Amino acid sequence: MEIHYFGWSGITLEHCDTLVGFDLFGEAVTWDALKSNQPILMCLTHGHPEHAGSLEKLLEAPEARPYLANVHLISSHDVIQHINRNKILAPENVHPVKDSESVTVNGVKITVFDWVHMPLLPPGMREKLEYIFQLLIHPLDLLRIGTLGLSLPMNAPQLGFHLTYPDGKRVLNYSEGVHRLTDRAEVAQIARKLPAEMLFFAVEPDDAEAIPNWVEILAPSDVYIYEAHRPWRDTFHLPFIDLNKYAGELSERFQRMTFNALVKEGQVIGG
């Protein structure tokens, strides 16, 4: 399997003659990077700007035309309705799904599950006030980000994705649902119903202490972590986590697991 990181939450997995893309957002996501004669399965976890904000434009670009017949869009009904509102993808290539539902494309079975988004504000009143202060002293950036979300289905369900490939390999993308307020019973249910050897999820600094609890329950072999909001944290001068160091700490704690930090736009692992 080849894993390609595009920044933000954007990841592609190339395996079993299929390209699966999660939350492909931003200028790094181009058809030069994605072009493939294989089926391309685009999975969107939710409707926030940095997840669904640029896919419509990507699909409607002239250079997309040679690939559209192979592109499948998998997400909630609300997100699909927004991305495909101009009917750029054929009806048979759009797959609206909800919690516990599955769809199979090119032999890859994709099952979705609901999760609850990580908290936007840190714990502690002082930390919350400092966070809000940093947002307010950058009003133009705050306005720009807020404007991005105006036309998007911000309240669409938040979906995780479980993949089962024809060769038996299983992948779980928990996206932004692994954090300090994650419900233990929810994680245990996912571990029981949707076990996977490969696990992907986003990390925020304030959730680092809680994450080992969920990793232990999910019990993958290989873990891939990324910072979903790092560009915005840099813009507003907010704290961030050293993912390479954190991956090393997790490796020491869970020595039977391999931890990989996705930190650099264009980073490729495997192949």
The correct CATH number of 2-270 out of 3.60.15.10, 1.25.10.10, 3.30.750.24, 3.40.710.10 is: 3.60.15.10
Q: What pLDDT sits at residue 231?
A: 94
Domain boundaries, the chain: 2-270
Nearest-angstrom CA–CA distance, 100 and 260: 28
Whether residue 38 contacts residue 61, with contact meaning beta carbons closer than 8 Å, is answered with no
Q: What pLDDT sits at residue 116?
A: 95
Paired sense of beta strands 71-75 and 40-43, if any: parallel
Taking the chain (271 residues) in consecutive chunks of 10 residues, what is each chunk's mean pLDDT?
Answer: 97 97 95 90 96 94 95 97 96 98 98 95 91 92 85 93 98 97 97 98 96 98 97 93 97 97 96 69
Three-state SS string over 27-68 comes to CCCCHHHHCCCCCEEEECCCCCHHHHCCHHHHHHCHHHCCCH
Q: What pLDDT sits at residue 151?
A: 84
Compute how many other C-beta atoms are within 10 angstroms of the C-beta atom of residue 240: 14
Q: What pLDDT sits at residue 40?
A: 97
Q: What pLDDT sits at residue 234?
A: 94
pTM of whole model > 0.85? Answer: yes
